Structure formats: C-alpha cells, structure tokens
Amino acid sequence: MAPVNADIVNGSKVTSPVKKTLPEVEDNGKRYSYEMLVETANFLLSKTDVRPVIGVICGSGMGSLAENISQPECIAYEDIPNFPISTVEGHHGKLVFGYISDVPVVAMQGRFHYYEGYPLWKCCLPVRVMKLLGVKALIATNAAGGLNPNYKIGDLMIVRDHINMMGFAGNNPLHGPNDERFGPRFPPMNKAYNYEFRKVAKEVAKELNIDNMVREGVYTCLGGPNFETVAELNMLKMLGVDAVGMSTVHEVITARHCDMSVFALSLITNECVTSYDHDAEANHEEVLDVGRMRQDILRDYVSKLVNRFVKYLPQNP
C-alpha cells in the first residue's frame, strides 16, 4: 500500500507539497479537495498544542466517552472550516482534543450519518482530517441493534468484521476519483479491524471483569433513518450479521484507505425484532438511555484501550 506522504501526517504544521488535478466528480466540484482538508487540519493545529495519535468517534448517546479526556480543548464543528454540522440528538457536534491516560487524542463528540443528508465521503471527512493531524489509530464506537439472539441490551460488541451493505449498491465513501495522497485506488479490507487491538480488547475486558458482557461479531450499516423491517433483519441474520447500525462502516473504510489502524465497538442498545409476534419497537430514546446506562463502563474500557493500543501504533519514520 503506497504510504501517505510523511510530511503531511506527522501532526506538525501540514503542507500540501503535491499539486495534482483530479478529474471533475459527479457532485460537481463540491467534494472537498485534499487542499481543503489540509486547510481544516491546519486550522485545528493552530487552535491546540495537542498532537493526537488516537482518534475516537463517539456513537449515539456515547458522547460522555469524551468526558474522559484530561486538559480538554473543545472546538465546535460550526467553527471549523469545511466541517459539516451535527443534526442528531445525542451527537453534540464538537471535537475534543486532550489526553486519555497521557495519550494525546482527539474525539468526535458527534458523527455524521448518511441519513442526515450528507454523502458518505462527507460523513467520513473527519477521518481524513484526523489522518492529516497525525492520528494513527481510530476507535469508532456506535449504538447498534443486537441481531445475534445471544446478545443482551447493554452488551458491548468488538467488531471483528463488517458487511458493507450500502457498498453493495455502489455507495462507498471512496467512490469517485482517488487521491493517492490518502491511499490506493483499490484498498484491501480483509484486515479492516486490527487483530492486535481486538486481542487486547478481550484481555482488557477480563481485567475489568466485564468479559461477560463483551462479545465479538459482525456489524452492518444500513442507510437509515428508519429502523429495519422484520424481513430485512431476518435476511441480515442469514448473512451472518450480529449487530445492525447506521454508521461506522464507511468511516472504517476511509480510515483503512489512509492506512490508519482501526478498532470498533458497538453498544447493543436494543434487541432487533425478528418476529411479527413481538410487540417491541426500536426507538432512538431507548438507544440514548442505554448509552447513559453504560457510560461509566464505556469510559473505563475505552480509557484502558487507549492506554494499551498506543503500544501497537507504528512509530514515525
């Protein structure tokens, strides 16, 4: 895999040495160019002295993960050049720079979803900005419905793999001209979720005595915003999906494209209804409630993970 130009990913002032004209894209030049993302990264670097090596994306109702950050410096999305804004309840809409267990991090308190009206490449723009800031590993968290019948509400699922349902229909964050400064045209995805991180996450779950609620499985993202029909869920179950959500997959693809190591964690917030006899209906309030219920455990877990993952990050050349 061609490395991204080292000059632009060391977390120091970013420059854009390579001038390259990409073909017009079908969204008529509205797609952010490399130079615009460099501008965004430079803006952020000028606002903070923190040089993050791990990025965290907080899932729905999981924003309190960022409360773990010491010496926090918050920047609202609306103040960041070229950034979208958060429109969903449970997504605060700010970047938090600081330290978790002495490791410099940046957390997104609020992510962008396709159903908000953002194209996938725009949903994933912050991941590329993180790369330009010098971030080497991404921890993406999400709220998800538990499809595996053994999962209980409040369980945590380490994502072993995903099924890119939206990608099956050709909707992919990497769709359109490829910018080699981020990564190759045809990135592999068979090692999307870092093996060492998953192994460490299972060890840490034991150490924290939460291994009875930590699972490992396959996540899929649908476009939303509606929750799934019974028939859709039964189809996904047959395909081997354990948890269903509306995010993360495209962020992970974008992160792997630019060679970031990835760990993803789903909080099972509701049981997927796979029978017509079942009375329950999924709803966003329940999703947020379960996030609140699990916030202390999640904070401790992610804090320990950051502390352990840092040992596996590639060193600067």
Stretch of residues binding ligand HPA (CB under 6 A), selected from 38-46, 74-82, 204-212, 239-247: 239-247
Does 111 show up as a binding residue in the annotation?
yes
Number of residues that bind ligand HPA (CB under 6 A): 13
Please confirm, yes or no, whether 143 is among the known catalytic residues.
Answer: yes
> Bridge-partner residues for 238, per DSSP?
none
Q: Which does 219 bind (CB under 5 to 8 A by kind): ligand LQZ7MJT6, ligand HPA, none?
A: none
Please confirm, yes or no, whether 270 is among the known catalytic residues.
Answer: yes
Beta carbon nearer to ligand HPA, 124 or 244: 244
Stretch of residues binding ligand HPA (CB under 6 A), selected from 4-12, 46-54, 139-147, 157-165: 139-147
Please confirm, yes or no, whether 207 is among the known catalytic residues.
Answer: no
- x-or-dash pattern for ligand HPA, window 287-306, by CB under 6 A? x-------------------
Contact positions vs ligand LQZ7MJT6 (CB under 6 A) = 59-60, 88, 111, 113, 142-143, 224, 245-247, 284, 287
Q: Which of 199, 177, 145, 237 is nearest to 21 (CA)?
A: 177
Does 243 show up as a binding residue in the annotation?
no
Does 270 show up as a binding residue in the annotation?
yes
210 contacts 315 by C-beta, under 8 angstroms: no
Q: How far is the CB of 141 from ligand LQZ7MJT6 (least distance, A)?
A: 7
- Interacting residues of 315 by C-beta distance below 8 A, sequence separation 6+: none
Q: Which of 240, 229, 308, 311 is nearest to 272 (CA)?
A: 229
159 forms part of the interface with ligand HPA (CB under 6 A): no
Does 247 show up as a binding residue in the annotation?
yes
Does 78 show up as a binding residue in the annotation?
no
Please confirm, yes or no, whether 42 is among the known catalytic residues.
Answer: no
Which ranges constitute the DSSP H helices of the chain? Answer: 34-47, 120-123, 125-133, 165-168, 195-207, 230-238, 249-257, 284-293, 295-309
Does 228 show up as a binding residue in the annotation?
yes
Please confirm, yes or no, whether 130 is among the known catalytic residues.
Answer: no
- Cα 291–chain centre separation: 16
Please confirm, yes or no, whether 250 is among the known catalytic residues.
Answer: no
60 contacts 288 by C-beta, under 8 angstroms: yes
246 forms part of the interface with ligand HPA (CB under 6 A): yes
CA distances from 205 to 285, 305, 307 (A): 27, 9, 14
Stretch of residues binding ligand HPA (CB under 6 A), selected from 44-52, 97-105, 238-246, 304-312: 238-246
Please confirm, yes or no, whether 251 is among the known catalytic residues.
Answer: no
141 forms part of the interface with ligand HPA (CB under 6 A): no
CA distances from 4 to 36, 154, 181, 184, 262 (A): 17, 38, 5, 9, 17
Q: Where are the beta strands (DSSP E) in the chain?
A: 54-57, 70-76, 94-100, 103-109, 137-146, 156-163, 214-221, 243-245, 261-271
Residues annotated catalytic, as ranges: 60, 91, 113, 115-116, 143, 246-247, 270, 284
* Binding-site residues for phosphate: 60, 91, 111-113, 143, 247
